[in-house]
Amino acid sequence: MTMMKLLYQTHSPYARKALVFAHEAGVAAALEVIHQETSPTVKNPAVFARNPLGKVPVLLRADCDAIFDSDVICAYLDTLHAGPRLIPHEGEARWRALRLQAAAQGLCDAGIALRWETVRRPVELRYAPLGEGYAEKLRTTYDWLEQEIDERSAVHVGHIAVATALSWIAFRELPDFREGHPRLVEWFDAFEARDSMTRTPLSGDTHD
């Protein structure tokens, strides 16, 4: 398999999702992981040169266009292995997996927005009602996941997205998903012990 480069960030839940997916698909050995710091307030020219949004992850392939974002990178990586597909091809299994992925992406989006309103934005510019609105999105999604997560099905992209999102939420000390969600917590703790997760730990902070 031709070597590729993954522009990455050790504290990005989106980048970690792509890398965990690569491990689960058995293609991580084909990736050279290159850490790149990105922030909406500090331009990283190396990332902007490959992604006009200036965000990671970005997958660089020899003699081909760069690929972004995490959803598209995962879809591409799923074409590179001979094992069972992590993104089901058809039927309700496909839509369940993609729906979980969408919920997980929304968790990350809301969590990042919440951090702007509680940690990153200057105190005098924070808007408490907006922060609470984002926190409510997290809490209602935890409730939904408590009912929707299926520990019996084979690992798929939705599981990977949810696990990396929840791991990042714990890392950033956002509203706790553990209280009142025993089924979700049991599933998450088991998934977080997987090799793909232990080999891709979160670390560091955003540099604005």
DSSP 168-206: HHHHTT-S-SSTT-HHHHHHHHHHHTSHHHHTS------
Q: Domain total for the chain?
A: 2
204 within domain boundaries: no
Which residues, including other chains, have CB under 8 Å from residue 175's CB and lie 6 or more apart?
114, 135, 138, 139, 169
Please write the tens of the pLDDT for every residue from 156-183.
999 999 999 999 999 999 999 999 999 9
Look up residue 142 and give its two tokens.
Answer: 């935890």
* Same domain membership, residue 69 and residue 95: no
Query: Is pLDDT above 80 for 71?
Result: yes
Phi/psi of residue 112, nearest 5 degrees? -65, -45
Residues 100 and 177 in one domain: yes
In this structure, what CATH number is given to the domain that contains residue 8? 3.40.30.10
Residues 38 and 100 in one domain: no
> Are residues 16 and 69 both part of a single domain?
yes
Both 160 and 131 in a single domain? yes
| Residues 71 and 28 reside in one and the same domain | yes
Residue range 180-198: mean pLDDT, rounded? 98
pLDDT digit string, tens, across residues 137-151: 999 999 999 999 987
Q: What's the pLDDT at 128?
A: 97
User: How does pLDDT run across 88-124, given as a tens digit for each residue?
Assistant: 999 999 999 999 999 999 999 999 999 999 999 999 9
Q: What is the 3-state secondary structure (H, E, C) of 20-53?
A: HHHHHHCCHHHEEEEECCCECCECCHHHHCCCCC
In this predicted structure, what is the pLDDT of residue 151?
A: 77
Q: What is residue 203's predicted lDDT score, i.e. its pLDDT?
A: 96
For residue 53, the enclosing domain spans: 4-77
Is residue 54 helix, strand or coil? coil
Give the CATH number of the domain where residue 145 resides: 1.20.1050.10
Residues 71 and 125 grouped into a single domain: no
Read off the pTM.
Answer: 0.97
At residue 88, the pLDDT reads 97
Other CB atoms within 10 Å distance of the CB of residue 171 = 14
